[in-house]
Structure formats: structure tokens, C-alpha cells
Amino acid sequence: MVSVASIQQLFTPAFTVDIRKVKSNARKMTERCQTLGVQLRPHMKTHKTLECADIMTRGSQRCIVVSTLTEARFYADNGYDDILYAYPLPIDKVEACAELAERLEMFHVLVDSEVAVLELKRRRLRDKKSWLVWLKLDCNNGRAGVQPEDSKALVLAKFIADSEGMELAGVYAHCGNSYEATGVEEIQAVAQETTSATLKFVEKLEKAGVRRPRSSIGSTPSCSHPVSDMGRLNELHPGNYIFYDVQQLMIGSCQMDDIAVRVLTRVIGHYPHRNQLLVDCGWTGLSLHSLGKLPTGYAIIEGHPELKLVGMTQEHGKIESISGKLDFDKFPLGSLISLIPYHACATAAMHPVYYVHSEGKIIAEWRPTRGWLC
């Protein structure tokens, strides 16, 4: 447990979370969903902590999405319920899913293949419980899912709905292609396309005599700038919005002031002969996710638009001046530099502890769950 009072005193590198921004981001997303009249089912994959989950669920500890079974168990073990494991059901993990489905009131699984459905059918749940099965739709994102316009999608949905021991609980689309957008207009075009395709599929199901399942789409860009038709869905499931990051800023999902996380680092070396300084944050503290392609390199250096993080090795970061000579006197050895991460999910994933602060004063440490079933 940290014994220091302020983030300036932390050993570096350190991942910091501004609690006021987190709460503000949570509140705004909740309000957006309330305005639309849809349920918010926040995704836990960005932070993987109990404390942040409580903020995102406003203390209800219900109605969340997870990306791994380790997260599912972590939240289940800590009083959470109504957990959607929004991942194409890995057939080696059916038994682990069954354990959760039997333990919780609502544990939802997701499929996009007949094979997965058959595996679920082979494992009937105890006490006449039904598997709560969501069908993953691929609405032009090109990752997992059945294409809703493909006739096989309807066949698979009916197969789930008609199978004993399971229920077609919902249809689910991730508009990850909103990450290709720049600006609200492009984000909303993707949001609209995904929403329309999802709603059209649900209507097709109803026409085919299938009981209308719940419908959910998500991605931080689309849920940060929702289109009105999203009010016709049942749920939204964004995740990254709780922290935001430079990637979201560049897409247009958020403003700079919304980004709640930083990596604090300190100057550990001056190298005037090559106009560079070194800081004690490498890719273990930040990740390589920007690929160094930002105008400011691997991150934005808070308060120093003149600086560029040009390279990283395991524990070292190299910073230089974008143009002209670096003023080393401004950055004495030991001085703090604050990096705004490109991809908060990836940066958070590198840290076993998050230092949570309010106006720089440390108020908590959050410890995420990590890894996979073992």
C-alpha cells in the first residue's frame, strides 16, 4: 500500500486515474443512455477492477460485459451478476461457463456458430436452467459474428431459439469499425449502420416467429455520440469511455479534458549530444500501441507540445524536441513528466496497480484482475 499523499510523490512509472474524470465520464454515459431510453451494460475490459465497475454500474453490481472468463469469475466472486461474456464461446470453456451459469442468476454467453450451440446443447444446465445465449452479429466490423443479411444468421438464431435448454437472450454487435472514423459525422454513420442492421435483423427474427431477443451494440466512439435510432435498441455496451485516451480524442469520441489516465514518469538521463532525454517509462509502462505514429510519438506529453516520445525499450523512453534544441534545464534529473496514453486499455493492461487521485491527492489504489483461466 502506498504511503504517499500526492501523485507527485509516487515512484515511477505509475499509472494514475483521475477519479473526478472517471465519475464524470460514467455519469455522462449513464445520462446518454437514460436520454435514449436504453440500458447501459458497461464493458469491464479496459480497467478490470471492482472499484471502477461499481462506478460504472452505479453500485448495482449488475449488467456488465466482460472479455475473459477470468474477469467473469472475478466479478461473480465479488457479488456481481447479470454478466455477459461477450466473446465467441471457446468450446474448451463450456464447462467453466456452465459453472458460472449455474451459480449466477444471469450469466450470458455469446456464439456465432452452430458448433458452439451444439456444444452448449451437450452440456445441459442443472435445475432446468436455460443457457442465456446471445448471437453475435458482424455489422461490417469484420471480426467475430454472423453477417445479419446472410440467411445463415436467421437459421442459427432460430436454432438457438428452438433448442431445448437455451434461450436466444439477445443479439450483439460491436461497431469496432467506428475506430476507423474521424469526427462525429463519421462515427455516427457507423453507429447508424450498425443500429439499422441490428434492428433489421431483430425484425426479421420476429417475422420468422422468433421471440424478440434483446439487442445491444457498443463501442466507445458510437456510444459517445449516439444516433437517435440507438434508442430503439435495448442496451449499449461501451467500455473504454470510463478512461478515454488519445486514440478516442483523435477519433472525436472525447475532449482532452475527459481523458482520466496518465503514466507518470521521471527524467533519468540527459544526452545533449543527441538532443534527447531518457525517462523511466518504456513499453512495459505504456505499451507500443500508438506504434509511435502520433505527431508526439508514442504518447502526448502533458503540457509539453514541443516534446516527442520517439522511442521505447523495456524500461526506457527517449524524448526529444520536435524542433530545435531541447532545454534540459527545464527537465532536471528526477523531474516528473506526465504521459497521456494512446490506448488506455493497452496501457492499463501493463499495470498491476492504478493510483487513483482527486486533484493530485491519492485516495485509493485499484488492483485489476489479469490473465486467463488456469
Chain positions contacting its own copies, by CB under 8 A:
2, 10-14, 45, 67-68, 87-93, 96, 112-113, 115-116, 138, 142-144, 147, 150, 176, 266, 268-271, 273-274, 278, 280, 283-285, 287-289, 291, 313-316, 318, 332-334, 345-346, 349-353, 365, 370-374
Cell of 361: 491527492
CB within 8 Å of 171: residues ≥ 6 apart? 134, 135, 136, 137, 157, 198, 201, 202, 205, 213, 214, 215, 216
- Write down the least CB distance from residue 81 to its own copies, Å: 22
Closest by CA to 176, choosing from 228, 145, 222, 232, is 222
Residue with Cβ nearer its own copies (94 or 227): 94
Cell of 319: 524524448
- Write down the least CB distance from residue 89 to its own copies, Å: 8
Residue with Cβ nearer its own copies (79 or 334): 334
Residue with Cβ nearer its own copies (38 or 175): 175
Q: Which residues of 305-315 are buried (b: 16+ CB within 10 A; e: fewer)?
A: eebbbebbeee
- Write down the least CB distance from residue 104 to its own copies, Å: 20
- DSSP label at residue 57: T
- Write down the least CB distance from residue 35 to its own copies, Å: 29
CA dist 325 and 181 (Å) reads 36
CB within 8 Å of 175: residues ≥ 6 apart? 139, 141, 190, 191, 193, 194, 217, 218, 219, 221, 222
Closest by CA to 338, choosing from 5, 9, 13, is 13
Residue with Cβ nearer its own copies (49 or 227): 49
CB within 8 Å of 84: residues ≥ 6 apart? 41, 64, 65, 66, 108, 110, 134, 172, 237
CB within 8 Å of 273: residues ≥ 6 apart? none
- Write down the least CB distance from residue 110 to its own copies, Å: 11
CA dist 338 and 14 (Å) reads 10
- Write down the least CB distance from residue 336 to its own copies, Å: 9
Residue with Cβ nearer its own copies (36 or 246): 246
- Write down the least CB distance from residue 206 to its own copies, Å: 26
CA dist 236 and 34 (Å) reads 11
Residue with Cβ nearer its own copies (32 or 43): 43
- Write down the least CB distance from residue 352 to its own copies, Å: 4
C-alpha separations of 156 from 106, 189, 216, 234, 350 in Å: 22, 28, 18, 21, 38
CA dist 27 and 56 (Å) reads 8
Say whether 35 sits in a helix, a strand or coil. helix
Residue with Cβ nearer its own copies (314 or 323): 314
Residue with Cβ nearer its own copies (36 or 65): 65
Residue with Cβ nearer its own copies (17 or 144): 144
Closest by CA to 194, choosing from 142, 159, 244, is 142
- Write down the least CB distance from residue 92 to its own copies, Å: 6
